Structure 1
Amino acid sequence: MSILLLATSSCTKEQAVPVQVDYDIVVVNDDFSAPVQVKINNKTTGADAYQWTLEGSISNTMNTSRNPGTIVYEKGGDYLIKLKASNQDGEAGEKSFPITVFDGIDLDFDVAIVKDDFSPVEVNITNKTTGASTYEWTFEGGIPKTSTAQHPQNVVFTAPGDHKITLKAGTDFENYSQQRTITVKPYLEADFGWEVAFQDDDYQAPVTLTMTNNSISATEYQWTFDRGLPQTSTEEAPTATFDTPGVHSITLKVTNGKETKEVTKTFEVFPDTNLSTHKNVKLGINTAHNNNNIGAFFSTTTREVYTKNGVSTETGKEIDIVFFGLDGTFSFNKFIAPDKVTEETTFSAIPNATHTKFINTQENCGCGVSMSVAEFDSMEDDSLLKNLTIEETNAGSQHFTNEVSPRIVLFETADGRKGAIKITAFIKEGSDSYILIDIKAQKESN
């Protein structure tokens, strides 16, 4: 019996289990440029204890797990991955694997215009890229067109418009690119026009012009006004007055520090006739005016026709002609002083109204003044008007019909300017009937 027990004990004696250390690694995306991610696959057999040394990685501490997971290298260098494995039988083994990590590429560069952005434009480039070993520069439209230098020389661009500067930087493992754009302003061009003052749009002396500067890529301006006041100016858009009749020249010289251009234009100033002319003015009968369809009020200074809603404290003081037409038959018509509308018409009072004297019917006036249609048409200055004496009389202020056409009506404004109205047509349009008139009036009293 005892012999059997000894035999059984001899058969169950344990043998030591050997440790076979093995693992492989996979570099994520095969990218050896920092940051580098490495996955470890532990294929070790016979071990129950593990000690990893992950030199240079973020997890640069001893790791005792079977699989340390994904490890990351943030800086370039030569590193060692090492595993020691053992078991309870005292068996042990180890394996080391070297890995080389390259510094990652941090691509960056600045462009700076050396002086200004007028053609030709010189550009300085500051390369701040790190981690790259090769550089390929492309300068769209530049001189030079390309470069492989880490720090290229200054580049010159001449053609106006946008130009791309591209850097492709890399290593044996990867390449990156980045782009900047610089803009070259258009070539220098000198050009201008002008706006004439409202009261001077007939170009009769004196004439005041405000320049409209249409130059391109200019930074400095030199104006010369032939017989103007002022005679010269360096403003961008000055104003000048011309008192002398005749042809005048205006010259503009511009520069941007690299180029200079010049242009000259001419215009004519005419002798002062002291006469303003307004043609084909429409004045509505009272219903057209009160319904705000066709105004019956006119200003010889603003040259505007005003309906009922167009009258205010500001416009009221400018109105100097009021037409009252009773209806579309034109059997009762007359011109009335603005300050008398509530006495003689159905119109509302005009704020700040002034008084204009009218002679509606020269044929009945008996006041010693007259003007024919032919005299009106031939009037080219105010010589005929200034010799008139406009007096208000009951006979002269009487209404008129449409039986006489054209008809001449004389007037004198509150500020002493004399004028004449020629009624050229009576247009029957029911409640929107109107008259067509031409007006010739003095610009200033004398």
Structure 2
Amino acid sequence: MELVFRARRAITAAGDGPCSVGVDRGRITAVEPGRALSGDRVVELGEDVVLMPGLVDTHVHVNDPGRAEWEGFETATRAAAAGGVTTIVDMPLNSLPPTVDPDALDVKRKTAAGRVHVDVGFWGGAIPGNGGRLAALHEAGVFGFKCFLLHSGVDEFPPLDDAELEADLRILAGLGAPMIVHAEDAPTIEAAPRPHGPHYAGFLASRPPEAENRAIARVIELARRTGARAHILHLSSSDALPMIAAARAEGVALTVETCPHYLSFTAEEIRDGATQFKCCPPIREAGNRERLWQGLADGVIDCVVSDHSPCTPELKRFDSGDFGEAWGGIAGLQVGLPAVWSGAARRGHTLADVVRWMATRPAELAGMTRKGRIAVGYDADFCAFAPDEEFVVDVSKLRHRNPVSAYDGSPLRGVVRQTWLRGQEVTGDDPRGELLNRG
């Protein structure tokens, strides 16, 4: 074999144990228990690390082109690799133009070409008036389509009303493509108190859980009616878990994600003016966080992805600390794995659980057949993770573009030592990532 990885611990379909993994031409060709395989080149992993499949993060806002001062393909993919993420799927909004037709996808691909350190796929966007272009965009290789049910935060990516959502779901049902939905109900939020000032409690009241619950109920009904696949993005309201479980039990094609920040932080600990914690939907109370963890344990929540949504520091309005004026989004792509592992370990979960939530299931939901597992035929995408090493996040050392993150100063458990993409170590110096097409 060209290359063999030998590990005292590896997370494979056989479980967590000693393993040798053979690699030829960037693909896994052998997975054997123990450490007996040999090859032209051998990577012997240290006794304190676990060989894991590279993570798959299907919710990343790269914002490039058009708002590359917020983030960019080079910086986002360096941060991904530093966090053990070997595949990302870029969201269709916050870049200019948004990815709502094949021409815009072509612009984005040309912008990313030769600049990515991990593999990158793309979501398309579903906005009013582009239903006739969804099939062409799907044919051009996007992994599915994102929509909003309320203002997205940027005027060039408007929301769908119920009739438009149903019409687009019928189109996607015929294509076999998922609709991924930012599920918050606009009328509920319009009726809530307007956020202003530095008090987090005021911002939290402006995005009540009822807004998520009503929007999710509507998505469930339309998915039931159309037979389309629907995916709920960044679930923060644990109140929605029973209806999600019931819908899936009756056969509705529904999947759900949550994010590391909803599993890590609580509303009670967010201090006044700390707008680095602002995101939509919001971080909620401690009891809600524990119910989200239980939803993961029960399998109602499928996966955990970052919703990495950075911006420039001035957009966070640290000058005033005004939650009503600050941009909503959390930059956490690089620290998602240790953040989730820190919480998972405290609650008795295993690294195999984390791999399922952050690698295997996201890859499956996006339809990626060679990502998210250490198995024969899969890409040799790995990370070496030291699960017992502890550190404190220093935002100045994170590799995304702007030094803003809710995780700054957080003590976390677990350090990514190395990352490999198709058997080659990712150092951040030589961009070898590929641009992925659906299928």
Whose strand proportion is higher, 1 or 2?
A: 1
Whose helix proportion is higher, 1 or 2?
A: 2
Q: TM-score, normalised by structure 1?
A: 0.25
Structure label with greater radius of gyration: 1
